[in-house]
Amino acid sequence: MNVLNRINSPSDIKDLTADQMRELAAETRKFIIDNVDITGGHLAPSLGTVELTIALMKVFDPPDDKIVWDVGHQAYSHKIYTGRRDVFNTNRQYQGISGFIKPSESVYDSFGVGHASTSISAGFGFVMAREILQEKYKVISVIGDGSITGGLAFEGLNNAGASGKDFIVILNDNEMSISKNVGAISKYTTSVLSDPKFNRIRNDIWNYAGKYKLGTQIRKGLAKIEDSVKSLLTPGILFEKLGFNYIGPVDGHDVQMLIKVLENIKNKISGPVFLHILTEKGRGYKPAEQDAEGTYHGVGPGILANGKEKKTELPKYQDVFGKALCELAKTDGRLIAITAAMKIGTGLSDFADEYPDRFFDVGIAEEHAVTFGAAMSVKGLKPVVAIYSTFLQRSFDQLIHDCALQELDMIFAIDRSGLVGEDGPTHHGVFDISYLRMIPNMIIMSPSNESDLRSMLYTAAKLKGLFAIRYPRGSGTGSGDDHSFEDVSIGKGKKVKEGRDTAILTVGNITNSVLKACDMLKEKGIEPSVYDMKFIKPIDTGILDEVSSEYSNIITVEENCLIGGFGAAVLEYYNSAGKNGLNIKRIGIPDKFIEHGRTAKLMEILGLDAEGLAGTIAGFCGK
């Protein structure tokens, strides 16, 4: 690492020669691969942006100039070049550096991210703050071709383009979804469009035409000619119409070309500029280049060395869901599946293969996914919208206005509920019970094992209503992913352990930890009854009445924030029923954002693992 070891801040890149920058790119890729093999992380996205990062730090002056990354999972080289090389081995580890951009971690991290499509709006916010405060700095927002499918990105483009203010947006097109290649013509037009001489001549002609009576017609003619040429040679006409000066496409791995274009934009071109670059996701690591969207988008520790992901005998919840939906779709032609750029992550790959006409990946556009599905429901279809808990937050208004208010027939398969581990606070699914429970007409259930998940999906598919099924990341309990479907009684829980004195009301996957905790408590003479409530809404009031009359101590346990969660629903019922003065203890996620780290470690710290639960229960029972 002859060059990389000398890079401790962006200023160290300024004096590098062309050969040294190429060497830096190669060393950085090896460094990322070696470290991700130990810690896990987002491999393919960050391998694709190494040259771009070098060029940005060569041309601009962060932290004074603001580089705003979208999502942040492509910004590992940014972290490495901004003083975090020597701690990069702690990436995504508990009390280590974050896997995403985090302003509290570094002054070079201008805006916190984790979800997609935010960089343009945030970048334009920096632009207007600069204007109001009369400061001088450049703002560069980097967004991926997947993220730009999100509506927020176009809202930002529309606002920024109309402003006329200096602002640079870089589209990192790593799927070649807009342009298929960077050929000789593309390189030539890019060189021309970014050249200051071309822009000066164009502006001179424009200003000259305005001096004559026919100036308006001449300008219109010139604009049409320019638009026609650009639409033939480049895909930039859309961005031009939004008020941006489009430049590209540019080879995102030609660092010298990137530097030349960025210097021209920085020094010679004013107003909003849209730079389109083409990169290869996973570049420099053949397996990642060939499977950038699947295995190597985000990997766990040891996958690179082993060449494959470690398999467990227990099926993942996402795969149980996907298999069950395929089975149900065989006999129910109304069932369709919708995902927001997470076909693999939500377990829908097989469904997409078996029922291509009934599968819809709408891109990173969760709001659209929900309303799109709502209209299908209006026409009598049964949409199953599979979205991670943390991303469904973006569709809150659509859930209320477009689905619940119209009393539609839909299923929301909410994956990654609860703590999700190394991705941290931007991805923990610990708010969904709270934000769904307040919505009228919403039925919310949470399985504690695979057979429950299958039967809940089966029941929701059969019945009419607005259903939400929340389940965790990772492997199940071993109850089987081929368990026969059974009807689930809406709003009914189940007593899963007989005990005395204390009743524990729990819901979801954490039920299994509660049962383990109870086994630990036997030697202390504590034998609580345990109720797997299964439903958060409607809640089983029969069980609640039974518990309040038979037990002196009541404990609720959930893997959701306590504010507005399952335990809050229990308290609300008892209050409305006039059953005040009960001895109730709520256990769940406290009122703070939970940092990144292995899920097991986080559960231990929060006292939500079996041992921690046993201690809390014993303390509440006075033992």
Cα(253)–Cα(287) distance, rounded to whole angstroms? 18
- Interatomic CA distance for residues 111 and 140, integer angstroms: 12
pLDDT grade for 149, boundaries at 50, 70 and 90: confident
From the CA atom positions of the chain, what is the Rg in Å? 27
Is 91 within the bounds of a domain? Answer: yes
Domain for residue 305, yes or no?
no
Last residue of a domain, one of 418, 437, 472: 472
- Examine the residue annotation and report whether 416 is marked as an active-site residue of this protein: no
pLDDT given at position 280: 87
Could you give the CA distance from residue 278 to residue 180 in angstroms, rounded to a whole number?
A: 9
Token duo for residue 392: 């469904």
Among candidate residues 472, 502, 537, the one where a domain is terminated: 472
Q: Find out whether 352 and 377 touch, Cβ atoms under 8 Å.
A: no
Percent of the chain residues topping a pLDDT of 70: 86
Q: For residues 549-567, give the mean pLDDT.
A: 96
Alpha-carbon span 360 to 372, nearest angstrom: 10
User: For the whole model, what pTM was predicted?
Assistant: 0.85
Q: 135 and 46 share a domain? A: yes
State the Cα–Cα distance between residues 62 and 12, nearest whole angstrom: 12
Q: Give residue 178's pLDDT band: very low, low, confident or very high (50, 70, 90).
A: very low
Where does residue 183 rank: exposed (0-12), middle (13-18), buried (19+ CB within 10 A)? exposed
The helix (run of H) or strand (run of E) holding residue 559 is strand 553-561
Cα–Cα distance between 531 and 492 in angstroms, integer? Answer: 11
Highest mean pLDDT among 29-38, 44-53, 133-142: 133-142
Contact between 416 and 453 (Cβ < 8 Å) = no
Structure tokens, 546: 């039974």
Mean pLDDT of the chain: 90
- In this structure, the answer to whether residues 240 and 334 fall within a common structural domain is no
581 residue type, one letter: G
Nearest to 316 by CA among 600, 509, 602: 509
CATH code of residue 596: 3.40.50.920
- pLDDT-based confidence at 479, cuts 50/70/90? confident
SS3 360: strand
Q: Which amino acid is at 525?
A: G
In terms of domains, do 512 and 406 share one?
Answer: no
The reported pLDDT for the residue numbered 184 is 45
470 belongs to the catalytic site:
no
pLDDT at residue number 177: 41
Interacting residues of 563 by C-beta distance below 8 A, sequence separation 6+: 434, 591
What's the CA gap between 276 and 252, in Å, rounded? 9
**pLDDT per residue over 340-378, tens digit each?**
989 999 999 999 999 999 999 998 899 999 999 999 999
Q: What is the CATH number of the domain that holds 70?
A: 3.40.50.970
Indicate if 281 belongs to the active site.
Answer: yes
**How far apart are alpha carbons 61 and 440 in whole angstroms?**
51
Residues 156 and 16 in one domain: yes
Instruction: Assign 145 a pLDDT band (cuts: 50, 70, 90).
Output: confident
DSSP E strands, 217-297: 245-251, 272-278
SS3 for 275?
A: strand
pLDDT, tens only, 411-442: 999 999 999 999 999 999 999 999 999 999 99
Q: Residue 487: inside a domain, yes or no?
A: no
**Is 203 inside a domain boundary?**
no
Q: Which tens digits make up the pLDDT trace of 224-273?
A: 666 655 555 556 778 888 999 999 889 999 999 999 999 999 999 999 99
Nearest one of 227, 228, 239, 226 to 271, comparing CA atoms: 239
The pLDDT of residue 403 is above 90: yes
Task: Give the model's pLDDT for residue 40.
Answer: 86
Least confident span in 203-217, 275-289, 384-398, 584-598: 203-217
Residues 40 and 106 in one domain: yes
Q: Which two tokens stand for residue 68?
A: 């705003």
466 and 500 within one domain: no
Instruction: List, edge to edge, every strand of the sheet that includes 410-417.
Output: 359-361, 335-339, 382-388, 410-417, 466-472, 442-445, 535-537
Question: Nearest 5°: phi and psi at 532?
Answer: -85, 105
Q: What are phi and psi of 508, to 5 degrees?
A: 85, -165
DSSP codes joined into one string, 28-49:
HHHHHHHHHHHH-B-HHHHHTT
Among 97-101, 173-177, 271-275, the range with the most confident prediction by mean pLDDT is 271-275
What pLDDT was estimated at residue 41?
84
pLDDT above 90: percentage of residues in the chain: 73
What one-character-per-residue DSSP string does 417-465 give? EB--STTGGGT-B-SHHHHHHTSTTEEEE--SSHHHHHHHHHHHHHS-S
Q: How many domains does the chain contain in total? A: 3
Is 468 in the same domain as 503?
Answer: no
**209 within some domain:** no
Same domain, 442 and 566: no
pLDDT of the residue at 249 = 86
527 and 570 belong to one structural domain = yes
The residue segments making up the domain with residue 599 are 494-620
pLDDT for the residue 581:
87
User: In this structure, are 182 and 88 located in the same domain?
Assistant: yes
With respect to residue 522, please indicate whether it lies within any of the assigned structural domains.
yes
Catalytic pick among 92, 358, 394, 534? 394
CA 247 to chain centre: 29
Query: How sure is the predictor about 186, in pLDDT bands with cuts at 50, 70 and 90?
Result: very low
Among residues 58, 138, 281, 343, the one annotated as catalytic is: 281
In-domain check, residue 212? no
Asked if 153 and 11 sit in the same domain, the reply is yes
148 domain-assigned: yes
Query: One of 27, 51, 280, 366 is an active-site residue; which one?
Result: 366
Same domain (yes/no): 278, 395: no
Q: Which of 90-99, 323-332, 609-618 is predicted least confidently?
A: 90-99
Name the residue type at position 593: F
